[in-house]
Amino acid sequence: MQMLSKVELGPATRTGGHAAGRREQPRVSRRKLLLAGALGWGGLTLAELLRAEAQAGLGSSRKAIINIHLDGGPPQMDTIDPKPLAPVEIRGEFQPIATRIPGLTVCETMPRVAELAERFVFIRSLVEAAGRHDAFQCQSGFDEKSLSSLGGRPAQGCVLARLLGSPADEAPAFVDLMLGRPLVRNSARPGFLGPAYRAFRPDISRMFPRELEDGMKKELAAKGAEHAVQLKLNGGLSVERLQDRADLRSALDGLRREVDASGMMDALDRFHQQAAGILLSGRFAAAMDLDSEDPATLALYTPPGSSDTSPHTTSEGALATRKLLLARRLVEAGVRCVSVSFSDFDTHSSNFPRMRHLMPIVDHGLAALVTDLQQRGMLDDVSIVAWGEFGRTPKINGNGGRDHWPRVGMALLAGGGMRTGQVIGSTDRTASSATSRPVSYQDVFATLYHNLGIQASSTTLTDPTGRPQYLLDHGHVLDELT
């Protein structure tokens, strides 16, 4: 695959009338007038984006990433790195089970992944965790303090929106479904790229109900009750009225653009243009409608005897497996990166009953997703990663739980054309530290970028000071997988 390399893309700038003239065609459709002409061509370095896609050979590619955050930090020894010979206060209640990979065992709560082990990569030596209780490192590869004076590092999905997306697309490049509410725990931030490249965050809380933690409830309350994203044209809003509003907005925005130094005006243009595309095509809204899915596929993503009840108030219900079906549908609709979360792995207490409920949900969902993508001929194009912000303590605490353990964690990879069916890295007898082949978060991101044809070590984005910033500063592609 041809790799995207040595491409420097700067902040969005106004291209002006000459760019619009260059793109004129003898006949311009009503939709193109709405999406482009009514707004001018402002706020979009489209030529740069098209050049980048052409160089990468990704213009018509269906390659994408599904990033699954195991929210709270999954216990490595209770998932893919069981330690049956460790003392009881470390090994816990679960037993190891054999997989399709000779010599590899996983926890008994993962029977479906064990059956499909040849389609997964088991990373047992994930290191360099920042130790923070959010998903930012799992979305970017960086600590949130990196380049904080410039706005921070962008999440990978935001990078892909910058490199591969366009406001004229019928689906956004990056959709963040983590926690299912657009106004809490914004872990997938655009950083120094600015607000024009932030994630699209629809509200799926009615589809997948889950009790929020107290801190998240306060975040949501502070931002107001109305936070749903409308994905279809309101019955009282016609295409003509939408175009009239676009004309008026463009005229008013033009009066202020020259004095705007924040990039917000360009972002508003991009958001409005993309929203118009989403509304008019209906493609994205259709992808979000699971009621239209084939009943046989719905059954594939439905655990046996499942219900939406949970023994722990902040854990997922069993039907949360269908979040991964939603992610697959979004990729089919043209989304480049989808972030999904499963909560709550923050098992400071009652680790074993909570894991006994939660891990089979993740296990079933992962197996269903890989099987579904394989059946549709999409698995080689879609890279899957499942991981958390850190591991958990080898020793069980007095509340029957496991606490935070940034020293080593776990990750699962699948798809993306990778060489699966292997284990990378190992830990000591208590799963306390990596003893071979340590893998950093950035190594995983370098591999994910590679799967999309992007060479992270030589591709740069220009920060607000005009300096080029590499996508990663030390990550290396996992050679075992290429």
pLDDT digits (tens, 9 = 90+) for 139-160: 999 999 999 999 999 999 999 9
Residue with the larger pLDDT of the pair 317 and 142: 142
Residue 453 has pLDDT above 50, yes or no: yes
Q: How confident is the model at residue 344 (pLDDT cuts 50, 70, 90)?
A: confident
In angstroms, rounded to a whole number, what is the distance separating the alpha carbons of residues 124 and 142? 20
Residue with the larger pLDDT of the pair 199 and 408: 408
User: What is the H or E stretch that residue 254 is in?
Assistant: helix 239-256
Q: Report pLDDT digits (tens) over 461-479.
A: 999 999 999 999 999 999 9
- Residue 47 pLDDT: 40
* 259 Cβ contact partners less than 8 Å away, ≥ 6 residues apart: none
Alpha helices in 107-154 (DSSP H): 111-115, 136-140
- Residue 313 pLDDT: 66
CATH number, domain containing residue 467: 3.40.720
Q: Does some domain include residue 134? A: yes
In 3D, which of 151, 166, 174 has the Cα closest to residue 462? Answer: 151
- Residue 41 pLDDT: 34
CB of 73 within 8 A of CB of 391? yes
10 Å CB burial of residue 132 (0-12, 13-18, 19+) is middle
Q: Report pLDDT digits (tens) over 77-123.
A: 999 999 999 999 999 999 999 999 999 999 999 999 999 999 999 99
Residue with the larger pLDDT of the pair 434 and 255: 434
In angstroms, rounded to a whole number, what is the distance separating the alpha carbons of residues 107 and 83? 9
Q: 218-250 burial, b if ≥16 CB within 10 A, otherwise e?
A: ebbeeeeeeeeeebebeeeeeeeebbeebeeeb
Q: Does some domain include residue 25? A: no
Residue 55 one-letter amino acid:
Q
Q: What is the pTM of this model?
A: 0.81
Q: Does some domain include residue 1? A: no
Q: Which whole number is the average pLDDT over 427-454?
A: 98
Residue 397 has pLDDT above 70, yes or no: yes
Structural domains counted in the chain: 1
Cis peptide bond upstream of 372, omega within 30: no
- Residue 316 pLDDT: 86
Q: Per the structure block, which two tokens stand in for 439?
A: 């893998």
In angstroms, rounded to a whole number, what is the distance separating the alpha carbons of residues 341 and 1? 30
- Residue 45 pLDDT: 40
CB of 164 within 8 A of CB of 454? no
- Residue 16 pLDDT: 35
User: Of the ranges 52-66, 147-161, 307-321, 434-448, which one carries the lowest mean pLDDT score?
Assistant: 52-66
Torsion of CA 40, 45, 49, 52, to 10 degrees: 150
Q: How confident is the model at residue 421 (pLDDT cuts 50, 70, 90)?
A: very high
Q: Centre a 10 Å sphere on the Cβ of residue 428 and count the other Cβ atoms it contains.
A: 13
Residue 208 has pLDDT above 70, yes or no: yes
CB of 165 within 8 A of CB of 154? no
Q: Does some domain include residue 345? A: yes
Q: Does some domain include residue 277? A: no
In angstroms, rounded to a whole number, what is the distance separating the alpha carbons of residues 388 and 409? 8
Q: How confident is the model at residue 203 (pLDDT cuts 50, 70, 90)?
A: confident
Which residue has tokens 């490249």? 197
Residue 189 has pLDDT above 50, yes or no: yes
Q: Which whole number is the average pLDDT over 448-467?
A: 96
In angstroms, rounded to a whole number, what is the distance separating the alpha carbons of residues 201 and 157? 12
- Residue 273 pLDDT: 64
Q: Report pLDDT digits (tens) over 235-290.
A: 554 545 545 545 545 544 554 444 445 555 455 566 666 666 666 667 888 999 99
Q: Does some domain include residue 173? A: yes
Q: Per the structure block, which two tokens stand in for 232?
A: 């279809």
In angstroms, rounded to a whole number, what is the distance separating the alpha carbons of residues 265 and 251? 12
Residue 365 has pLDDT above 70, yes or no: yes
Query: What is the secondary structure of 328-375 as a DSSP string?
Result: HHHHHTT-SEEEEEEE----SB-HHHHHHHHHHHHHHHHHHHHHHHHH
- Residue 29 pLDDT: 43
Structural domain boundaries enclosing 306: 62-235+282-481
Q: Report pLDDT digits (tens) over 289-307.
A: 999 999 999 999 999 876 6
CA distances from 243 to 16, 238, 250, 382 (A): 20, 9, 10, 36
Q: Does some domain include residue 296? A: yes
Q: Does some domain include residue 458? A: yes
Q: What percent of the chain has pLDDT over 70?
A: 70
10 Å CB burial of residue 120 (0-12, 13-18, 19+) is buried
Residue with the larger pLDDT of the pair 49 and 220: 220
Residue 367 has pLDDT above 70, yes or no: yes
